Amino acid sequence: MSTVRTVDDLRSALAPARRARQTIGLVPTMGALHEGHLSLIRRARAECDVVVVSLFVNPAQFDERTDLDRYPRSERRDVDLATRAGADVMFAPSADEVYPPGFATAVEVLGVTDRLEGAARGSGHFRGVSTVVTKLLGMSMPDVAYFGQKDAQQVVVIRRLVADLNLALRIQVCPTVREPDGLAMSSRNARLSPEERARALALADALQAACGRAGEGERSAGALVDAARAALSARGVEPEYVELVDPETFEPCEGLAREALLVLAVRIGETRLIDNAILRPSAVGTPRQPDPRKAIV
């Protein structure tokens, strides 16, 4: 795998693939790679001729400077992991390469960014995400870009900008990858102390509680949210939000009339974690919903 740091070098590295009409897959990351990222790289490897992994800790999407400063960085390890997972090119630009002097453009998706993560992290968060993703797509011009379901609201935002800007690529969303005990893999998990790591299992407990109620036939959004909140409370965790939303618009659902997404965010110590699970309406006596603690969902 080659590592390139400028847009010109990235385009030069991909030029032979374009001339040969090969498919290019992009896996955008902020580094600190874990099995969740590697599953995206392996999916891209299976579906594309050339796989690009971007490694850029985007300062524009952090609402707190301390959060940016504490974000784990380990390029040498990331390069090794990406290589073994099947990447062909690592694009690791500097901040000045992505945002050169005089940079004065922002991409903003309206509506879906107003709630939940947008409200919790500030108006600049999704603007920063949308801007850097648009830049990465323009720099690499992939046929497919791969994202994880754990960042569900981000996925909806990116799909919206791709559709609205008529960008010629496919967005592939891949399942959340979990630890054996159900905790969704995240670069932020490394910040948790052993005691905090145990409390963080409240997220998987909450999702399973709601999935269990849905599997029993419960369709009230309030009851499903209450079940999740009770599971969080049992581990002494207070949520920033717990909500049942439409998976395409992130508008709140009054009930489980069709497939919906239970989303939640919590803060464990100084670490903020998010997770989600798809809920489907069930009649009493039908098989239970998938257990987030035991499966990749």
> Mind giving me the DSSP string for 171-200?
EEEEPPPB-TTSPBP-GGGGG--HHHHHHT
Q: What's the CA gap between 211 and 295, in Å, rounded?
A: 13
Query: Can you say whether residue 125 is alpha, beta or left, with left for phi > 0 and alpha for psi between -120 and 50 degrees?
Result: alpha
How does strand 170-174 pair with strand 144-148?
Answer: parallel
Residue 245 class from Cβ within 10 Å (0-12 exposed, 13-18 middle, 19+ buried)?
Answer: buried
Which residue shows structure tokens 């939000």? Answer: 241
Q: List, by residue number, the catalytic residues.
A: 37
Q: What's the CA gap between 16 and 11, in Å, rounded?
A: 9
- Tokens representing 291? 């257990």
